Amino acid sequence: MSVKRVGIVGSGIMGSGIAETAAVHGFEVVLRSRSQSSADGMVAGMEKSLNRQVEKEKIAAADAEAALARVTPTSDLGELAGCDLVVESVVEDLGVKQHLFNELDRICGEHTILATNTSTLPVVEMAMVTGRPTQVCGIHFFNPAPVMSLVELVRTITTSDDTLESARAFAAACGKEPVEVKDQAGFVVNALLFPYLNNAVRLLEQGVASMEDIDTAMKGGCGFPMGPFALLDLVGLDTSLAILDALYAEYRDPNYAAVPLLRRMVAAEQLGRKSGTGFYDYHKK
Ligand SMILES: NC(=O)c1ccc[n+]([C@@H]2O[C@H](COP(=O)([O-])OP(=O)(O)OC[C@H]3O[C@@H](n4cnc5c(N)ncnc54)[C@H](O)[C@@H]3O)[C@@H](O)[C@H]2O)c1
């Protein structure tokens, strides 16, 4: 099935980035947020992001304008009815995602593929609340979606070959390099990445080094583009905690048991860049 019209649900860090990526690569995009003002805000944010790319001569002004013109912001889930593919990117909470999949199944056309951008949750449990479990898969983008080249394509035990091939074609048409992964918590990247991030917080708690020095060490010693605390702030501490909790629930591996400091920071609403404060302070930046 050839995908032309894509629905994106969720107006956070990832929903915005995926919408921008799809629009730039020629897809018609219906962007659904719970309020019209946040849907409009997403388009305004996309315009800013595209303007920055025009200034840096990464994209032509006419192409940026055309990409924006392909995006329809809405608060009405019903507007996703005509989409060939819907990618949900709402909060990392299985109950919320299942409720959404159930609604999308009711609203969307019979041919529509329903995909999740979940980082860790069991995709098959979203598939099974729909009447189309063969047409459900994971399409897991990385942050920031317009920049990162990887997409993990999650095949559940119910996903059909046709669905996965359509998802693969969509990811490739977005300029991404897809890899196929099993529906297992964390897939490849987060299963490997999150013990590292969690243990960085543990080292900080133990007073082994300052947060700045741990970041400097991992950049200088491993050649990583950013240290673990800068990365946790970019991902979002609430999302990171939800990812660790899902990994721990699946594997019971102590490396996935969230370090208390992370949980306390989420309770204090210190969520990273998106809230202005996390391990670092972003208010002045
Ligand atoms: N942040 C990352 O680095 C990253 C990377 C890859 C995948 N993901 C995944 O993408 C998804 C979204 O993460 P994000 O980082 O964009 O989070 P975010 O906090 O920036 O955005 C979450 C979105 O969910 C919406 N939302 C919250 N509660 C809701 C509810 N009850 N019903 C409907 N919508 C609700 C919010 O309004 C917001 O638009 C998650 O599944 C996450 O695991 C995140």
Express each pLDDT in 228-240 by its tens digit.
999 999 999 999 9
Q: What span, in angstroms and rounded, lies between the C-alpha atoms of 223 and 217?
A: 9
> How far away, in angstroms, is 90 Cα from ligand 1 center?
4
Residue to mutate, 117, 121, 239, 274, ligand 1, most ligand atoms under 8 Å from C-beta: 239
Distance CA 24, CA 167 (A): 17
The tokens for 263 are: 């949980």
- Distance (angstroms) between ligand 1 centre and the Cα of 12 equals 5
Q: Is the CB of 13 under 6 A from ligand 1?
A: yes
Query: Which atom of ligand 1 is nearest the CA belonging to 16?
Result: 16
Digit-coded pLDDT (tens) for 238-259: 999 999 999 999 999 999 999 9
C-alpha distance across the termini of the chain, in Å: 44
pLDDT digits (tens, 9 = 90+) for 141-195: 999 999 999 999 999 999 999 999 999 999 999 999 999 999 999 999 999 999 9
Cβ of residue 235 lying under 6 Å from some atom of ligand 1: yes
**Three-state SS letters, the chain:** CCCCEEEEECCCHHHHHHHHHHHHCCCEEEEECCCHHHHHHHHHHHHHHHHHHHHCCCCCHHHHHHHHHCEEEECCHHHHCCCCEEEECCCCCHHHHHHHHHHHHHHCCCCCEEEECCCCCCHHHHHCCCCCHHHEEEEEECCCCCCCCEEEEEECCCCCHHHHHHHHHHHHHCCCEEEEEECCCCCCHHHHHHHHHHHHHHHHHCCCCCHHHHHHHHHHHHCCCCCHHHHHHHHCHHHHHHHHHHHHHHHCCHHHCCCHHHHHHHHCCCCEHHHCECCCECCCC
Residue nearest to atom 32 of ligand 1 (CA): 96
Ligand 1 within 6 A of 106 CB?
no
- Report which of 141, 145, 146 is spatially closest to residue 56, judged by C-alpha positions: 146
With a 6 Å cutoff on the Cβ, whether 219 touches ligand 1 is no
User: Is 140 a known active-site residue?
Assistant: yes
* 48-107 tens-digit pLDDT: 999 999 999 999 999 999 999 999 999 999 999 999 999 999 999 999 999 999 999 999
Interatomic CA distance for residues 193 and 119, integer angstroms: 11
Query: Residue 46 pLDDT more than 80?
Result: yes
Q: Return the best residue to mutate from 34, 36, 91 for the ligand 1 pocket (most ligand atoms within 8 A of CB).
A: 91
**Rounded to 10 degrees, what is the CA torsion of 235, 239, 244, 245?**
180
Model confidence band, residue 285 (pLDDT cutoffs 50, 70, 90): low
Q: Answer whether 130 contacts ligand 1 (Cβ < 6 A).
A: no
